[in-house]
Amino acid sequence: MRLPRWTLLLLLLAWGGPWLWPVDPLVQHLGTPFSPPDPSHPLGLDAIGRDLLARLLEGVRRSVSIAGAATVLSLLLGCLLGFAAGWRRGLTDLAIRWHIDLFLTLPLLLVAMFVATALPAGQASHAVTLVLLLGLVSWMGTARLVRAHTLQCLASPWFQQARAHGVPMSRLVVRWVLPPLGAVLGTQAWLVFLRCILTEATLSYFGLGPPVPHPSWGALIAEGREVSLSAPWQFWVPVVCLVLFMGSLSHAGPPESGSPARKAR
C-alpha cells in the first residue's frame, strides 16, 4: 500500500510535533489557570498552567507511537497464527479458528478495559502494557486473511504441480505464498492502526492510558470535558484535532492498494 504524500506528512507532523513546538508539556507557566489562547501559548494553558499545544502534540505523538507498535504486534501475531492454521490444518486450524471466532464475538473495547483495570496499579498505564493489550485484541482479522490466502495457495493447481516437481516448500512459501499478501496486509495494517488509535484514546479517556502527568489524547479530552463550559477550547481543541486526524487518515487509508480500477483513476 502506497500512502499519499500528504498522509505521510500528517504522520510525520504527528510524530515530530513536539520538536516543531519545543515547549515542555510538563512545565507549569506563570499565569492564570485556563488562560485563553495568546501569541505565546496558541491554545492557552490548562488548569495548572501547562501549555495545551505542547501537551496536545505530545499526546498525539504518544498515541501514534503506541498504535504503531500495537499494529506491528497485531500483524506479526495474526500472520503467524493465520499461516499456522492454513498450513497445518486439522486440529491446529480448528483451535485457531475457535479462538478467532471467540475473540470476534467479544466487545474488544470492554475486554481491553477489563484487562487494564484488572492489572496491578500503574502497570496498565505502562506503554509496553498498552502495546501488548492493543495488539492482543486486534489480530483476528489478519489471521483470517492469512489463513484464507494460505489455504487458497495450497489448493491451487500450480502449487500442487510445483510440489510434484520437487520444488522446495521454503521456496514456494517465500516466492509465491507470501508476496501476494503485501497489498492485503497493507490495507489491514492501516485499519488496525486507526482502530488502535481510537482504542488507546478511549482507554486514556477513562484513565487507563499513560500515567499522570504525561499527556495523551483521551486524557486531554477527559480533562477538557470537566471545564467545557468555562474554558471550552480545553475540550473542543483535542476533540476537533482527533476527528480531523482520524478523518484525514481514514480518507487517505488504503487508496492505492486495491483494485486496478482504483489505480487507473
Q: How far apart are CA 182 and CA 217, in angstroms?
A: 31
Residue partners of 95: CB distance under 8 A and separation at least 6: none
- Can you give the pLDDT at residue 121? 55
Distance CA 97, CA 21 (A): 48
| 130, amino acid identity | L
Q: Cα 187–242–115 angle (5° rounding)? A: 75
Each of the 265 residues of the chain gets a pLDDT tens digit; together they read 455 566 677 677 777 777 888 888 888 887 677 888 888 888 888 888 888 888 888 888 888 888 999 999 999 999 999 988 888 888 888 999 998 988 888 887 888 888 777 766 555 457 788 888 899 888 999 999 999 888 888 777 877 777 777 777 777 777 777 777 877 788 888 889 999 999 888 888 888 777 777 888 888 999 888 888 888 888 998 999 888 888 878 876 554 544 433 443 4
- Provide the grid cell at 148: 484464507
Give the CA distances from residue 129 to residues 20, 104, 121, 126, in Å, rounded to whole numbers and listed in that order: 29, 21, 12, 5
Residue 150 CA to its chain's centroid (Å):
25
Q: Give how far the C-alpha of residue 20 lies from the chain's centroid of Cα atoms, to the nearest Å.
A: 23
Determine the Cα–Cα distance for residues 73 and 132; give it in Å rounded to an integer.
8
Q: What would the DSSP string read from start to end of 29-81?
A: PSS-TTPPPBTTBTT-B-TTSBBHHHHHHHHHHHHHHHHHHHHHHHHHHHHHH
| Domains contained in the chain, CATH given | 51-263 (1.10.3720.10)
* Cβ 170 vs Cβ 217: under 8 Å: no
